[in-house]
């Protein structure tokens, strides 16, 4: 059994107050809470910063310092790829093993656009990874929602081409879950043989939820996956 923690949409900036909340303080609260958990890896599914500045990445690296488990990162539409690579080069998620599970990261970010898109090259690479994977169970992670959120969220800001992704996912029964952020809310869905799970923001939620939080996944060796959102 393995434990995976997912946080998302931290929106750290040079100034503490961003979008009307203290995103630095809020992320620090989440990290402090995580120091009381035992887990095997931390996934950050995009928008680590709000404006992608060097100072913001330095700040988030400092806030994350108490985390001793491996940290895997996917960029979001608010992130600066060059700065992200500078500060977190060794953490960027392509593929990672967690026991007999594999975590695969996808880049869904489009330059200067809030909505996401998976390029033909990214989709081809995903298909190659899935077809050659020796893992028994797989989680796919990206920044943008791949489903209609059925909430106040504007679905036009989600992934533009989920129809290109689903046929690939459908071919591989070892996929257990697809996770994402971006929508700033906790939600879960099911599609065929896998679950689809949205992660709340460590900064603020876009729905009526006033708390901040993170997702906790329990990955069983037999392929069962359980998750819960932990609120602060």
Q: Is the dihedral of CA 165, 201, 4, 224 positive or negative?
A: negative
Q: Which pair of structure tokens corresponds to residue 46?
A: 């995009």
Q: What is the pLDDT of residues 72-88, one digit of tens each?
A: 999 999 999 999 999 99
Domain formed by 2-231, architecture = 4-Layer Sandwich (3.60)
Model pTM? Answer: 0.97
Q: What is the pLDDT of residues 134-184, one digit of tens each?
A: 999 999 999 999 999 999 999 999 999 999 999 999 999 999 999 999 999
* Angstrom distance (rounded) from CA 43 to CA 67: 12
Q: Three-state DSSP class for 1?
A: coil
Q: What are phi and psi of 216, to 5 degrees?
A: -115, 120
């Amino acid at each position: 059994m393995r434990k995976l923690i997912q946080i998302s949409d931290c929106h750290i900036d040079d100034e503490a107050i961003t979008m009307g909340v203290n995103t630095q303080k809020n992320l620090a609260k989440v990290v402090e809470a995580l120091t009381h958990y035992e887990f095997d890896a931390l996934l950050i599914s995009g928008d680590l910063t709000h404006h992608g500045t060097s100072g913001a990445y330095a700040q988030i690296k400092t806030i994350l310092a108490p985390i001793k488990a491996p940290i895997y990162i996917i960029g979001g539409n608010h992130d600066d790829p060059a700065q992200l690579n500078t500060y977190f080069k060794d953490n960027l998620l392509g593929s990672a093993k967690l026991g007999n599970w594999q975590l695969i990261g996808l880049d869904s970010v489009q330059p200067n656009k809030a909505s996401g898109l998976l390029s033909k090259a990214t989709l081809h690479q995903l298909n190659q990874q899935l077809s050659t994977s020796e893992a028994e169970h797989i989680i796919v992670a990206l920044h943008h929602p791949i489903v209609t959120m059925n909430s106040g969220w504007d679905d036009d800001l989600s992934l533009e081409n989920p129809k290109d992704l689903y046929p690939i996912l459908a071919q591989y029964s070892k996929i257990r879950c697809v996770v994402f952020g971006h929508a700033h809310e906790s939600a879960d869905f099911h599609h065929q043989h896998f679950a689809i799970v949205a992660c709340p923001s460590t900064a603020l939620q876009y729905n009526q939820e006033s708390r901040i939080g993170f997702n906790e996944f329990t990955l069983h060796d037999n392929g069962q996956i359980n998750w819960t959102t932990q609120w602060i």
